[in-house]
Each structure stands twice: as structure tokens, then as C-alpha cells.
Structure 1
Amino acid sequence: MPQPQLLIFDCDGVLIDSEVIAAKVQCELMREEGIDLDAADLAQRFAGLTWPAIVERLKEETGHRFSQAFMQRVDDEIDRRLGTEAEEIAGAHEMLDRLEMTRCICSNSSAARLELELDHVGLWDRFRPYVFSAIDIGKAKPEPDIFLHALKVFDVRAENAIVLEDSVHGVAGARAAGCRVVGFTGASHSYPGHADALTEAGAETVISRLADYPAVVEVLGDWQDG
């Protein structure tokens, strides 16, 4: 049976409760563009995607073209709020205290944003230098590039890595890389049917509390994925 050797964490929505903050900023500023969207719906539909990917989908839905200046303004405001308002997901530090295995972060957020928000909640030093941004690596999730990069860095086979993800896109990318995946539904943007959606995307099991993750990692060491 594959024994876990590497734990890969998504950041936004897994370690930091940031998806709702980003969605609120996006909706607030899009109203100035004449587009009225609900932040909870936006977070549910687009959690895990990059801002350019979200914009592309919204352009297809609405026909509206967003300027580069607008996109940069949204990014800047999200960074500002994450640096002052973001909070860790409950139990993040305690969970990490119980996990001795090698770990890293694989995220679609930029390297600068990851350092900003992780430092704000005191998690940066618990992962650096192994905080990987898909923007620097290759294609963003749901493509597997960032997970494959992490496997290469640590010289670990995919079946020996466990990924903790809150988004369908993240689960799909991790599974495409061959990793085992645990879904997470404990952030503020979680929604009815969230756990089912993660399971359908390929998560072996789903948890809603980070306190449960160390036990799940132990169980997965003896549980062969079918």
C-alpha cells in the first residue's frame, strides 16, 4: 500500500479563509463595471481559479470586456484586504503541530500574495521555502503542473503524496497528477453539496475540520485507493 511521504496543501480556502474576501472585492468592483454578482455565488463557482481565468469565464457569460487596469485594481485591492483581514482556518496551527511529514503549499495565487497572507496569519515560516505558485510553474489548476512540480522537487511518487483541497478545480488537478486527495469544506465559502462535488471530482474522503486531518493521513497510509 502507498505510504504517505509528502503532504501538499492548497492555501486559499484550506489554510486561510480568503476565498470570500476575494469574491467580495471582485463583486464590489465589478458593480462599477455594471455587472451585479453575488459574492457567495462567485466564490462557489470560481473557487480555486485564477483571477484571469475568472475574468475569461465572466467575459463569456456577460460579453463584457475587462481592462487590464481594472484587473490590476482588483488584484491590488484583494492583496490589501488579505494583508489586513485574512484569518487562518480554525485549527491550522494545531494541525501542523501534529504532522511531522514533509509538506508544501501548491496554490494558484501569486507568490507575492501567498507570502503576504501566510505571513499575516503566521503560517509563512511553517512552509517556506516550499510555497509554490502555479503562476511561476506552468499552467494553473485544474491542470496538474504545480503538483507535478512539487513531486519533482521532493522526489516523491504521486501515490505517496496526499493533497488537501477545497475546490473542484484543485481536486481535479491533483488527481490528474496521480496524487491522493482529501477534500476540505471548512472555509466560509463552503456550500450545500460541496462535499459531494469534491468527491465526484476525485477526493477519496472529505473533512470539514482541520483537526481531523492528521488522523485521516494516518488512515490513508493503510487504505489502498481503489
Structure 2
Amino acid sequence: MSGFDLIIFDCDGVLVDSEIIAAQVESRLLTEAGYPISAEEMGERFAGLTWRDILLQVEKEADIPLSASLLDKSEKLLDARLARDVKVIEGVKFALARLTTQRCICSNSSSARLDMMLTKVGLKPYFENHIYSAKDLGPDRVKPKPDIFLHGAKQFGVAPERCLVIEDSSHGVHGARAAGMRVIGFTGASHTYPSHADKLTDAGAETVISRMSELPAMVAALAEWEVV
């Protein structure tokens, strides 16, 4: 039987243009802490990871002890910037209005941040109560682990192989593929970079789109193509 029973959307960098804002805030904090890095490099290397995981990776790589206070400092600065500046990804409302398959959001962002961003850009009504945060599942269950994707599918009683995931990060793609789901990569947010599409394909995305307005046609095309 062809088609999908559930479309799972990542949020940051897929529905809202928030990854570039996070990269700007976090690159400044890391640079001030002795690890010079640009916002562009943050987007390429760390998009899709939690700030905690980014700090752990930087500490391991550079052998720089990073203060635990950076965790709270980043969250407060980022929430303020997002509340002021976050915008919807162009074409998202067009796509959501044309997709008839049931849908949900599976994100690494906290429930509070998801609620704030989605309310600000007017997307909450498109997903009703089907907005899920990996942080609510417990410690160490965020992407690239598959847990949040499997959780989303379970809420609808849908088998993983009947789910299609829309992701902008290789970490998210890896998590979705580990869950046994098919994936469309997305490169239309402001944090995109030259090798972005290749990176998503290498991680396991079947195809990549750069405009969200292309999504309904791509979903229809993939629905006719069964993966054996």
C-alpha cells in the first residue's frame, strides 16, 4: 500500500527560521569563552544539536573547560531573541494548507520554546496538540536518537515505515532513519550552507527541497514510490 499515514515535522529550521538566531547567540558565547567560531560555522557543524551537546562536543574537541553557567545564559539570551525576531519559514502555511495527511512536530526544543515560537508565527492551529519535545521524554533522549520520532508515531498508532519526516539537520535525519522512517531534507532556512543538501542526503534523506512550497508535490511523488 502506497502513501504515508503521518508526516512528522522538525520545528527549528523547518517551520520557523530559528537556527540562524541560535547560531548567532551561541557563536558569540563560545567566542567569548575562548573558542572562536562564526554563526555560519555553527550552523554547518552543530545545527540540530542541543546547546548542552554542543558544549560537550566543544569541550572534548578543544580541551576548553566551559562554565556550566553558559547553559542558562544561552537559554535566556536565545529565548529573548526568538521572542523578538523569529519568523515562519516562507511557504510553510501554503504547504500545510495543502497537505491532508495527519501531522505532528517532533523537536529537540523545549515545550515552552516550541509554544512560544509557534504561537508567535501563527502555526499552532495547524498542529493542535500534536507538538512533541524530546526533552519531555527524559534525559539523553534527544536527536540524533530516534526516541522522539518513535514517540510521535506512537501517539497516532502509526508504524514507523508509514511515517515521512521533514528535517533540516543531519542529526535529525540520522534519528529519523534510525526510527525506520523515510525523510525529506530541507535547506530553505537562513542557516543553510553550500554542502547542506549533500550532508542531508549522505545522512539518509531520500531527496532534498529548498522551498517549502515544493513539499506537497514531493510528498505525493514519494508516496507513489515504495522503498523496498
1:97 pairs with 2:124: no
Q: In 2, Cα distance between the equivalents of 1:200 and 1:32?
A: 33
In terms of mean alpha carbon deviation, does 32-41 or 206-215 score higher? Answer: 32-41
1:221 pairs with 2:223: yes
1:52-91 → structure 2 map (5 Å cutoff): 52-91=52-91
Q: CA RMSD in A?
A: 1.1
Q: What's the offset of the Cα at 1:124?
A: 1.9
Q: Which residue of 1 aligns with 2:42?
A: 42
Q: What's the offset of the Cα at 1:69?
A: 1.9
1:176-215 → structure 2 map (5 Å cutoff): 176-215=178-217
- The number of residues matched between the two structures is 226
Q: What's the offset of the Cα at 1:31?
A: 2.9
* Code of the aligned partner of 1:118: L
Deviations 1:141-185 (A, max 9, x none): 111000010111100011111000000000010000011100001
* Code of the aligned partner of 2:91: G
Gaps of 5+ in 2: none
Q: Which residue of 1 aligns with 2:19?
A: 19
Q: Which residue of 2 aligns with 1:33?
A: 33
Deviations 1:37-59 (A, max 9, x none): 11100111000001100010011
* Code of the aligned partner of 1:21: I
Q: In 1, Cα distance between the equivalents of 2:216 and 2:197?
A: 19
Q: In 1, Cα distance between the equivalents of 2:137 and 2:115?
A: 16
Query: How does the TM-score come out when normalised to structure 1?
Result: 0.96
1:144 to 130, 140, 146: 146
1:162 pairs with 2:180: no
Q: In 1, Cα distance between the equivalents of 2:32 and 2:200?
A: 33
1:122 pairs with 2:122: yes
- Give SS of 2:191's match: coil
Q: What's the offset of the Cα at 1:132?
A: 0.6
Deviations 1:21-77 (A, max 9, x none): 001001222233232211100111000001100010011122222222221011111
Q: In 1, Cα distance between the equivalents of 2:59 and 2:158?
A: 39
Q: In 2, Cα distance between the equivalents of 1:62 and 1:143?
A: 25
Query: How does the TM-score come out when normalised to structure 2?
Result: 0.96
Q: In 1, Cα distance between the equivalents of 2:117 and 2:60?
A: 30
Q: What's the offset of the Cα at 1:224?
A: 1.2
Q: What's the offset of the Cα at 1:119?
A: 1.0
Q: In 2, Cα distance between the equivalents of 1:31 and 1:44?
A: 16
Deviations 1:121-148 (A, max 9, x none): 1112221311111111241111100001
- Give SS of 1:224's match: coil
* Code of the aligned partner of 1:203: A
Q: Which residue of 1 aligns with 2:7?
A: 7
Deviations 1:83-111 (A, max 9, x none): 11011111111111111211000011111
Residues 111, 133 of structure 1: 8 Å contact kept: yes
Residues 103, 127 of structure 1: 8 Å contact kept: yes
Q: Which residue of 2 aligns with 1:172?
A: 174
